[in-house]
Every structure is written in structure tokens, then in C-alpha cells.
């Protein structure tokens, strides 16, 4: 929540800058990373596929070697003469034994297996204790493995049950390794008597390390290493001599190598992060593996990839620059507008913001200036309306206690005293005192309707005692409307108009009714007289005239127009006074205003 609040409290410029960085720069970085990843992955995939093609070619060359060796071994396996000579256990003489060995030796020499520029050393180990080699050719002695010891080795069990050629790494045989020849692979095959099928010996063909390395190196590129690994994880031959005869079975990547027939993956080779590619030989199950250090990854040497990286970097810089520019462009006019508002808050209403470009900020500035013009106009109008209210209220108070009214009231009280009408005189004095007290001690503009009715009651008492038996009156106040607020001296002018222009000309006893009711959210007050009524058209003409503040022309004293204008000034032009003629004579004034209480 603290982080959220801090983000909310950031300045607009920082919010815009951060939002641009989040929605523009960061996506740019993500897209750039994805692009580099895709380019790198695709480049590596293509390169690794090409490496697999090279490894397949090496594997094909290895198959060709094995195939030639198998074809050569078939000669010794199927040749009846050799088969007969090897099958002999006894000889008539030493010379006969020598002749037999020489014949086999010559056949071996004449049928040596040649693959490219390599000659493969061949030898036959017989059950009769005799050994033959193509290298000896009857001239030089050659060390041979002990056939009896060979048959005790673990791999020989795999050979004894088949007549096919088997290829075993030299390092797996203690007897072959003892001879310290330059061979890394032994191609071995049992020779059986063509008639009885009993084993009479074994043909062994040495595959030298140079033959394998020559095959591996002719497809190798700078920085790469290739090795041949047997099914037990032992390196048979490697272009890196330090790895030959080492076991990889305990390496973390060995499981991937042994569990798949071909593929590629990254691994640590000899403390170097490298990419491994491998294929499997179908005949032997051995793996031909190529590994390349990671600094030779696909995209590092390609200009197109470097160009993509450069363009992404340029876009990133432009995105940052545009983010900073946009934040300043947006925040500058807002900041200027804020400063203008602060100046206005300090009291200077003459400030107007400068208009630059006609964009949204320009339109905002124009509206701000228009708003300030309107505010100044409204302040002027409010001042004029306030002055108008004060003048109207002053007129109302002056009318309530004007000298003519006061003189007539005192004269009527004197008359009552002279006529010994003490009760009525006392009543008039008390009513006059209350009326004067409310006029001079109460400065409220709006008072509860109850108090206004009390003031009207005092006025009607004075008028009733003054015009003896000329009219009667009744005040009907709805209790629900008693606390509604009305302007001061709002009812007396209507009652005065009824007495002066209605009842005085009727020639009999008149009646005045004042009733107040709530109608929804409005307060409605009706003042009805039963006289001949005044001039309705004249009354409506007066109510419809525009305000003439300070003018001394009104209907009976304060005037009904004063009341009407004050109602509209206080509550709005939809409220005010209206007048209508009653069917049986008289005038009904209806006063409408909102039903406001002191709390409202």
C-alpha cells in the first residue's frame, strides 16, 4: 500500500516518464532480448544441424572402414585352404610345419586390407598354438597376444556366440593393450572349421589411431574437437590427445549422450562451456561427438545479427529521449497552469495563462482564461446582487417603520385612550413594541415562518384597532411549515395591500386569510382578501417589471414588487409572487419558495 501511495503522489512529469519507460522502453528491451534469443537459437539450430551432417559423414566413413574390414575377414573365414591349414593340429615334420605357416603367411600378406592410405595389420591366432601375421611375411618375428588369455577376457563371451565381426576398443582388452601397438580398435572374428564348425582360431585386425584421427580431423574446424566414444563411455580416439582412453561415464552430460541416438546440447567440457553434437554408429553403438566452445556461437560472427543489435540499441536510446521529451512537453503547460492557479489563490484574479500551440493544452488554456473572465463577471454580478438585496431590505425596513405609518399608529392609540378603550390601547402598544423590537434587534435575512407570522399578527392587531370593525383576519399555519425559512417582512406588504386597495373600497366588513402549507419540497403561502380587490393588471405589470432598486414607487408602502424581487434574489427566478382574481371578488397572492430549514 505504501508503494501504491507513493506512485499516486509522484509528480505528473515522473508519472509520464515512468509510464513511457514501462510501456515503451522496457518492451523494447524485451523485444530486443527475444529477437537476439530467436536469432541466436535459430543460428545455433542451423549450425548444429550442419554439424550433425558433418558427424553423419564421419560416421559413414567409419562404417566404410568397418565394411572393408568385414569384407577382408570373409576371405580368411571362407577360404578352404586357409581353413585347412589353420585346422591342422599335427605336422609330419618341422619342415611341414614351416611350410604350412609360410603358406598362411603369404595369403595374409597378399590379402592385406587397404583403406585409403592406411594398411590394417592382420593376424590369425590359432587354437593349435600357431599365430600368423601379415606384417611378418616370413622375415621378421612379431609379438602376438596370448590366445588363451584373450579367451578369458569379458568381451570374448560376446564373440564366442556369433560368427560376425566384433569391434572392441583396444583399451578394453588387457592382452591387446599389453602389446602397446598403435591400434585403438580391434576387429575380431572367430574362424570355424568349414566341415565340423568347431572353433579353430580368431582373426584380429588392428585399426590404428591415425586412421581414426584422419577421419575425424578432415571435417574438423578451428576451435572444435571430435572424439569417438564406446558404449561404456570410454573415449576411443580424440583429436584432443588428452581425452583419449578417459572415461566420461561420471560426467553430468553422459546420460544425455547415452540416452539418445543423436542431438546437441550445451555442456561443460574440460572446464569450458561448450556445445555438444553427437551421432550414434548403428553397427557398434559408439558415439561420434563434436564439441565447440561457446565463444564460437552462431551469431557472434554474423554482421546481420550485430546490425539488429545496433538498431535495437538506437531504438532504445530514441525511446528514452522521446520519453523524457514527452514528459517535459506534457508537464510544462500543466506546471504553468498550476503556477497561475496558485497566483489566483493568492488573490490576483487578473492572471491569464499564455496560449502556445493550439493543441489540447492550448484549448485548456483558453478555457481557463474564459473561466477566469466568467468568474470575474460572476463576482461583479454577486456584488451587485448583494447590494441590491441590501437596498431592498433597507427599503422594506424603512417601509415597516416609515413616519406616516408610525404617526397613524400613535394617533390611533391616542384615540383609543381618549375613548377609554384601554384594553385595545394596551394591545396596540404591545403590538407596536414587538414590531419595533423585531425591526431593530433582528439582523437575520431569513427567519422561521413562525416568527414572520407573529410579526404579521402584530401588524394586523395595529391595523384592526385602527380601522375599527372594518375587517377581520385569520392566520392558518401548517405546523409542518412553521420552521421553514422566509425573508423578513415578506407577508406584511401583502396584508397592507389587501387593507389599502381591497377592503377600504368594499363598503362593508372584509376578511383577510393568510395560510401556509407545504407542497412537496416547496412552501406555498396564500394571502386572500374578500374585498373588491385591486387592479389585477396593474399588479401583474408591477410584478413583471425589471428591478428598479432605490426607486420610491410601489403599491402601498414597501410594495409587492419588493417582496417578489427579494424572493427571486434569495431563491432563484423560478420562485416569487403571483396574483389572481377570485370568482367572488378579492385578490389572492400566492408566494412560492423552496422549503428550507435552518439546518439546510
- pLDDT tens column, 201-212: 888 988 999 889
Question: With 60 as the cut, is the pLDDT of residue 310 above it?
Answer: yes
In a shared domain, residues 286 and 402: no
Please report where in the chains the cell 570355424 appears, as a residue: 192
In a shared domain, residues 386 and 359: no
In a shared domain, residues 422 and 516: yes
- Give the C-alpha distances (Å, rounded to integers) separating 111 from 64, 184, 189, 210, 370: 18, 22, 16, 21, 113
In a shared domain, residues 122 and 243: yes
Task: Quote the pLDDT of residue 432.
Answer: 86
In a shared domain, residues 361 and 460: no
Q: Which residues pair with 66 in a beta bridge?
A: none
| CATH number of the domain bearing residue 274 | 3.30.450.20
CA distance 324 to 311: 20
Q: Who has greater pLDDT, 546 or 134?
A: 134
Mean pLDDT of 583-596: 90
Residue 503's CB is within 10 A of a number of other CB atoms, namely: 26
| Residue 10 within any structural domain of the chain | no
In a shared domain, residues 488 and 349: no
Question: With 60 as the cut, is the pLDDT of residue 394 above it?
Answer: no
Confidence of residue 13 (pLDDT cuts 50, 70, 90): low
Q: How many domains does the chain have?
A: 3
In a shared domain, residues 280 and 365: no
Q: What is the pLDDT of residues 320-365, one digit of tens each?
A: 777 676 666 666 777 777 777 788 777 777 777 777 766 666 777 7
Task: Quote the pLDDT of residue 303.
Answer: 59
| Residue 21 within any structural domain of the chain | no
Among the three residues 275, 298, 321, which one is the final residue of a domain in this structure?
A: 298
In a shared domain, residues 351 and 407: no
Phi-psi region of 191 (alpha: psi -120 to 50; beta: other; left: phi over 0): beta
Question: With 60 as the cut, is the pLDDT of residue 408 above it?
Answer: yes
Among the three residues 350, 372, 394, which one is the final residue of a domain in this structure?
A: 372
Structural domain range at position 342: 336-372
In a shared domain, residues 294 and 344: no
| Residue 306 within any structural domain of the chain | no
In a shared domain, residues 85 and 191: yes
Task: Quote the pLDDT of residue 235.
Answer: 94
- 200-213: b (≥16 Cβ within 10 Å) or e: bbbbbbbbbbebbb
The three cell numbers of residue 73 are 575377414
Mean pLDDT of 580-598: 90
Among the three residues 268, 298, 328, which one is the final residue of a domain in this structure?
A: 298
| Residue 42 within any structural domain of the chain | no
| Residue 529 within any structural domain of the chain | yes
| Residue 278 within any structural domain of the chain | yes
Angle between helices 209-217 and 26-78 (to 10 degrees): 140
Percent of the chain with pLDDT over 70: 80
| CATH number of the domain bearing residue 423 | 3.30.565.10
In a shared domain, residues 355 and 427: no
Q: Who has greater pLDDT, 376 or 173?
A: 173
Question: With 60 as the cut, is the pLDDT of residue 284 above it?
Answer: yes
Q: Who has greater pLDDT, 280 or 325?
A: 280
| Residue 268 within any structural domain of the chain | yes
Of the candidates 519, 522, 536, the one whose C-alpha atom is nearest the C-alpha of residue 589 is 536
Task: Quote the pLDDT of residue 105.
Answer: 74
In a shared domain, residues 239 and 280: yes
DSSP element (H, E) containing 167 = strand 166-169
Task: Quote the pLDDT of residue 331.
Answer: 66
| Residue 5 within any structural domain of the chain | no
Give the DSSP letter of residue 451: H
3-state secondary structure 227-281: EEECCCCEEEEECCHHHCCCECCCCCCHHHHHHCCEEEEEEEECCEEEEEEEEEC
Amino acid at each position: 500500500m505504501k508503494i501504491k501511495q507513493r506512485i499516486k503522489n509522484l509528480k505528473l512529469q515522473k508519472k509520464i516518464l515512468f509510464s513511457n519507460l514501462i510501456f515503451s522502453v522496457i518492451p523494447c528491451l524485451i523485444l530486443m532480448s527475444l529477437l537476439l534469443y530467436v536469432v541466436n537459437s535459430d543460428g545455433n539450430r542451423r549450425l548444429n544441424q550442419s554439424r550433425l551432417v558433418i558427424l553423419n559423414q564421419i560416421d559413414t566413413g567409419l562404417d566404410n572402414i568397418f565394411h572393408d574390414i568385414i569384407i577382408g575377414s570373409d576371405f580368411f573365414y571362407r577360404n578352404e585352404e586357409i581353413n585347412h591349414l589353420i585346422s591342422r593340429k599335427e605336422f609330419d615334420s618341422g619342415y611341414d610345419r614351416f611350410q604350412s605357416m609360410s603358406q598362411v603367411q603369404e595369403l595374409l600378406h597378399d590379402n592385406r586390407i587397404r583403406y585409403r592410405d592406411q594398411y590394417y595389420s592382420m593376424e590369425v591366432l590359432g587354437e593349435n598354438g600357431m599365430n600368423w601375421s601379415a606384417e611378418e611375411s616370413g622375415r621378421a618375428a612379431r609379438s602376438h597376444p596370448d590366445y588363451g588369455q584373450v579367451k578369458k577376457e569379458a568381451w570374448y563371451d560376446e564373440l564366442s556366440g556369433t560368427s560376425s565381426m566384433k569391434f572392441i576398443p583396444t583399451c578394453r582388452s588387457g592382452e591387446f593393450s599389453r602389446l602397446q601397438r598403435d591400434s585403438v580398435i580391434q576387429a575380431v572374428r572367430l574362424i570355424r572349421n568349414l566341415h565340423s564348425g568347431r572353433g579353430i582360431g580368431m582373426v584380429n585386425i588392428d585399426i590404428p589411431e591415425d586412421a581414426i584421427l584422419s577421419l575425424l580431423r578432415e571435417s574438423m574446424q578451428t576451435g572444435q574437437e571430435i572424439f569417438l566414444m564406446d558404449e561404456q563411455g570410454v573415449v576411443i580416439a580424440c583429436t584432443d590427445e588428452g581425452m583419449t582412453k578417459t572415461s566420461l561415464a561420471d560426467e553430468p552430460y553422459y546420460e544425455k549422450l547415452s540416452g539418445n541416438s543423436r542431438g546437441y546440447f550445451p555442456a561443460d567440457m574440460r572446464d569450458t562451456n561448450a556445445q555438444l553434437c553427437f551421432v550414434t554408429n548403428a553397427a557398434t553403438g559408439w558415439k561420434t561427438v563434436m564439441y565447440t566452445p561457446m565463444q564460437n556461437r552462431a551469431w557472434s560472427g554474423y554482421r546481420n545479427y550485430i546490425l539488429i543489435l545496433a538498431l535495437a540499441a538506437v531504438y532504445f536510446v530514441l525511446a528514452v529521449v522521446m520519453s523524457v521529451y514527452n514528459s517535459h512537453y506534457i508537464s510544462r503547460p500543466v506546471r504553468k497552469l498550476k503556477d497561475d492557479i496558485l497566483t489566483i489563490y493568492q488573490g490576483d484574479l487578473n492572471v491569464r495563462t499564455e496560449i502556445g500551440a493550439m493543441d489540447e493544452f492550448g484549448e485548456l488554456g483558453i478555457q481557463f482564461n474564459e473561466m477566469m473572465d466568467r468568474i470575474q463577471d460572476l463576482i461583479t454580478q454577486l456584488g451587485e446582487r448583494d447590494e441590491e438585496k441590501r437596498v431592498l431590505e433597507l427599503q422594506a425596513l424603512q417601509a415597516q417603520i416609515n413616519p406616516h405609518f408610525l404617526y397613524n399608529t400613535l394617533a390611533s392609540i391616542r384615540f383609543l385612550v381618549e375613548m377609554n378603550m384601554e384594553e385595545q390601547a394596551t394591545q396596540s402598544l404591545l403590538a407596536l413594541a414587538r414590531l419595533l423590537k423585531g425591526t431593530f434587534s433582528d439582523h437575520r435575512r431569513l427567519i422561521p415562518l413562525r416568527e414572520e407570522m407573529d410579526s404579521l399578527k402584530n401588524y394586523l392587531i395595529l391595523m384592526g384597532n385602527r380601522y375599527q370593525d372594518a375587517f377581520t383576519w385569520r392566520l392558518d399555519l401548517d405546523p409542518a411549515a412553521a420552521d421553514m425559512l422566509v425573508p423578513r417582512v415578506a407577508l406584511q406588504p401583502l396584508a397592507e395591500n389587501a387593507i389599502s386597495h381591497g377592503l377600504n373600497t368594499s363598503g362593508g366588513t372584509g376578511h383577510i386569510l393568510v395560510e401556509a402549507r407545504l407542497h412537496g419540497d416547496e412552501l406555498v403561502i396564500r394571502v386572500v382578501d374578500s374585498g373588491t380587490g385591486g387592479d389585477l393588471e396593474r399588479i401583474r405589470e408591477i410584478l413583471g417589471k425589471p428591478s428598479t432598486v432605490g426607486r420610491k414607487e410601489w403599491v402601498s408602502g414597501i410594495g409587492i414588487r419588493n417582496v417578489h424581487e427579494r424572493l427571486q434574489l434569495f431563491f432563484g427566478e423560478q420562485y416569487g409572487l403571483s396574483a389572481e382574481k377570485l370568482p367572488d371578488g378579492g385578490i389572492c397572492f400566492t408566494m412560492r419558495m423552496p422549503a428550507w430549514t435552518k439546518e439546510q
